[in-house]
A and B are shown apart, each in its own frame.
Chain A
Amino acid sequence: MKKIFETPLYPYERPLDLDSKDDARHVVAIIGAGPVGLSMAVDLAQHGIKSVVFDDNDKVSFGSRAICFAKRTLEIADRYGFGDRLVDKGVVWNHGKVFFDERKVYDFNLLPESGHRRPAFINLQQYYYEEYLVDRARELAIDIRGKSKVTHIEQTDEEAKLLIETPDGSYGVRADWVIACDGAGSPTRSMMGLSFTGRVFEDNFLIADVVMDANFPTERWFWFDPPFNRGQSALLHKQPDSVWRIDLQLGPDVDKDEEAKPENVIPRLKAMLGDDVNFDLEWVSVYSFQCRRMEKFRHGRVFFAGDSAHQVSPFGARGANSGVQDVDNLSWKLAAFIQGHATDALLESYNDERVHGADENIINSSRSTDFITPKSEVSRIFRNAVLDLSERFEFARPLVNSGRLSVPCVYDGSRLNGVDHLEGGPHRSRPGSSCPDLPIGDGFLLDHLGGSFTLLSVNTDIPDEVDISGLRVESLQLECSDLMQERYLGAAQQAVYLIRPDQHVVARWPTYDEISLKKAVRTALGHDV
């Protein structure tokens, strides 16, 4: 059977632009048709903004790559219209086991909070996410150009110019805005001479996806210093289609090409899985990871999103998930600016909010890395002490860090945040946070939020709709339920929330007041008030 990643999903077609005398002008040019670039195109299209997507390849990414999609990503995918496809195909997991040396020290249940449409995580090969995205992009008639490599970029105050290389020659395009979603090795970043600095970890990991019919349960198994990989770590995780993800830490100073050869990989896997387990290698990669980011994610008319802007270690599933959050953050802002509702400060807030998000991810994944791969003798002593204690004492288990799984970023302190005048309001839904989900009627709250500004009220009256300088603010008036009380009212009796198009809270009050609302909307669009 041919794998999805072997089939051209956006095959090259000779573009009309090749034959035109003048360079075509686009509103938005997206570089890279990976999960981040295509999400960007879909999100913009849903806001009514057309874009063109250039990719030097014509297929989805090779191999499984990202496999853990967090709740926030699923909620964003719901907004794009393929959340159900992801969850139906994906593997939902809540249980895990932690092993140290030759013994299991404890097992855990993530016990996800109830009353949300989406689970905390699903495991799913990245190529499925990309395939569903391409399908959605097709529905929206998005112009995806395969085998179209951007070889030059320059910008003025008025526009950006790109040179595109195709199998039939090169052509130029002009664009008002460029989004560089061209991955960790971002050619755009290099062409613009921008630096990408941070922490490089001197460690290598073998990542193998194997197909096997094994009886391992749907759990995340993590080993510290196991007999089959002495002094290192290992991870086993289930994906759909009987594919299992295996991560084996290799240590520093290895020959990457040598380690990735099947004759070297297979004995390692046999030592881990046992001689009697039959498996096929689907994908193998050896890599050393890094935690780093660009100093700024916006450079004039060019925005960087996803791995091109920031990179983390894989522990915690913060790569693809944070890239999708970048898109969620940027697309409504760019759309609002293009449609004339916002100031340049709104575009600049993408940089502020997502640099904050990237730093949070980098801190979390650096800490996991320090626990998994102790850098000093004393660090190893404490790490082993935690693991020893975790077997007998529950208190030590929260200290075990094999990856802190991605949770949505809270934009505390953002200039877009308005007032928090709801006395006794829950901390979790303060301005800057993404709205917690809960069941309402036959569906869920998040089904009714996002895409536009929304005024949410509980136990109090608000107008049916509000128009603020030509921008429509939707209204959602709800009755209280126990979960609504817990997640939106806290100690208060009633509340009014203003919610951004990306489902983050702008401001909250006990009662509706038109002047306060106008002020909050203007603040959230980058205006000085």
Chain B
Amino acid sequence: MKSLNVKPNIDKPDDFYASLLMAHDGLSKEESEAFNARLILILANHVGDSDVLTEALRAAAR
């Protein structure tokens, strides 16, 4: 069973974070929410594995 990677795994954390915020620049709250939803779906598909996704849902819920 695969498990969720909760160790640092992003190549360039500061760059990614800046890009993420930049992507939301100029978007209304509604547009931002739609953007986030699309992003979540794209990333979830990349992960694919249902055990990992379940674990991610739990992790996000704290």
Chain A interface (Cβ < 8 Å from any Cβ of B): 378, 381-382, 384-386, 388-389, 393, 395-396, 399
Q: Which of B12-50 contact A (CB under 8 A)?
A: 33-34, 37-38, 40-42, 45
Query: Which residues of the partner chain B approach A378 to less than 8 Å between Cβ atoms?
Result: 33
- Which 3 A-B pairs give the minimum distances between C-beta atoms? A385-B37, A395-B45, A385-B38
**Chain A residue at smallest Cβ distance from B46:** A395
Residue of A nearest to B39 (CB): A385
By a CB distance below 8 angstroms, the chain B residues around A381 are: 33-34, 37
Known: A381-B33, A381-B37. 16 other contacts (CB 8 A): A378-B33, A382-B41, A384-B34, A384-B37, A385-B34, A385-B38, A385-B40, A385-B41, A388-B38, A389-B38, A389-B42, A393-B42, A395-B42, A395-B45, A396-B45, A399-B41
Can you list 16 A-B pairs, Cβ within 8 angstroms, ordered by A? A378-B33, A381-B33, A381-B34, A381-B37, A382-B37, A382-B41, A384-B34, A385-B41, A386-B41, A388-B34, A389-B38, A393-B42, A395-B42, A396-B41, A396-B45, A399-B41
**Least distance between B11 CB and chain A CB atoms (Å):** 23
The majority secondary structure among interface residues of chain B is helix
- Chain B contacts for A389, CB-based, 8 A: 38, 41-42
The residue in chain B whose Cβ has the minimal distance to the Cβ of A384 is B34
Total inter-chain residue pairs, C-beta < 8 Å: 25
Q: In the complex the two chains form, what is the Cα distance from A384 to B36 in whole Å? A: 12
Q: A389–B34 Cα gap in the complex (Å)?
A: 11
In the bound complex, CA of A396 to CA of B44 (Å): 10
A330 CB to nearest B CB, Å: 35
Chain B contacts for A393, CB-based, 8 A: 42
Q: Which residue of A lies closest to B48 (CB)?
A: A395
List chain A residues, Cβ under 8 A from B34.
381, 384-385, 388
Q: Which of A385, A395, A396 lies at the interface centre, i.e. has the most chain B CB atoms within 10 A of its CB?
A: A385
Q: How distant is A253 from chain B, measured CB to nearest CB, in Å?
A: 25
Nearest-neighbor residue (CB-CB) of B35 within chain A: A385
- Interface residues in chain B, defined as those with a beta carbon under 8 Å from any beta carbon in chain A: 33-34, 37-38, 40-42, 45
Q: Nearest chain A CB to B51's CB is how many angstroms away?
A: 18
Q: How far is the CB of B49 from chain A (nearest CB, A)?
A: 14
Cβ–Cβ < 8 Å partners of B37 in chain A: 381-382, 384-385
- Residues on A with C-beta less than 8 A from B42 are 389, 393, 395
Residues of A within 8 A of B41 (CB): 382, 385-386, 389, 396, 399
Taking the closest CB of chain B, its distance from the CB of A514, in whole angstroms, is 41
Task: Give A384 to B34 CA distance when docked, in angstroms.
Answer: 8
Min CB gap B23→A, angstroms:
14
CA distance A399 to B37 in the complex (A): 13
A384 surroundings in chain B (CB, below 8 A):
34, 37
User: In the complex the two chains form, what is the Cα distance from A381 to B38 in whole Å?
Assistant: 9
Which of B33, B37, B40: most chain A CB closer than 10 A? B37
Contacts of B40 in A (CB 8 A): 385
| B39 to A: closest C-beta gap in Å | 9
The residue in chain B whose Cβ has the minimal distance to the Cβ of A377 is: B33
For residue A211, give the distance in angstroms from its CB to the closest CB of chain B.
41
A389 and B44 alpha carbons, distance in the complex (Å): 13
- Residues from chain B with a CB closer than 8 A to the CB of A386 are 41
- State the Cβ distance, B60 to closest chain A Cβ, in Å: 13
Q: Give bound CA distance, A396 to B40, whole Å.
A: 12
- Which residues on the B side are within 8 Å of A382 (C-beta)? 37, 41
Q: Smallest CB–CB gap between A391 and chain B, Å? A: 11
CB-CB < 8 A to B38: which residues of A?
385, 388-389
Q: Give Cα A513–Cα B37 distance, bound, in whole angstroms.
A: 57
Q: In the complex, A405 Cα to B53 Cα: how many Å?
A: 26
* Closest residue of B by beta carbon distance from A395: B45
Cα distance A193–B34 in the bound complex, in angstroms: 48
* Closest residue on chain B to residue A394 by CB atoms: B45
Q: How far is the CA of A393 from the CA of B46 in the complex (A)?
A: 12
Q: Which of A381, A384, A386 has the most CB of B within 10 A?
A: A381
Shortest Cβ gap from B44 to chain A (Å): 9
B18 to chain A, nearest CB (A): 23
A388 / chain B contacts, CB cutoff of 8 Å: 34, 38
B33, closest chain A residue (CB) = A381
Expressed in whole angstroms, the minimum distance between the Cβ of B46 and any Cβ of chain A is 9
Shortest CB distance B6–A (Å): 24
Question: In the bound complex, what is the Cα–Cα distance between A235 and B45 (angstroms)?
Answer: 28
Report the Cα distance A399→B34, complex, angstroms: 16
A479 to B45, CA, bound (A): 42
Smallest CB separation, B48 vs chain A (Å): 9
Q: How far is the CA of A491 from the CA of B62 in the complex (A)?
A: 44
- CB-CB < 8 A to A385: which residues of B? 34, 37-38, 40-41
Q: Which residues of B contact A396 (CB under 8 A)?
A: 41, 45
Min CB distance B17 to A, Å, is 22
The closest CB in chain A to the CB of B37 belongs to A385
- Once the chains are docked, how many angstroms separate the CA of A378 from the CA of B29? 13
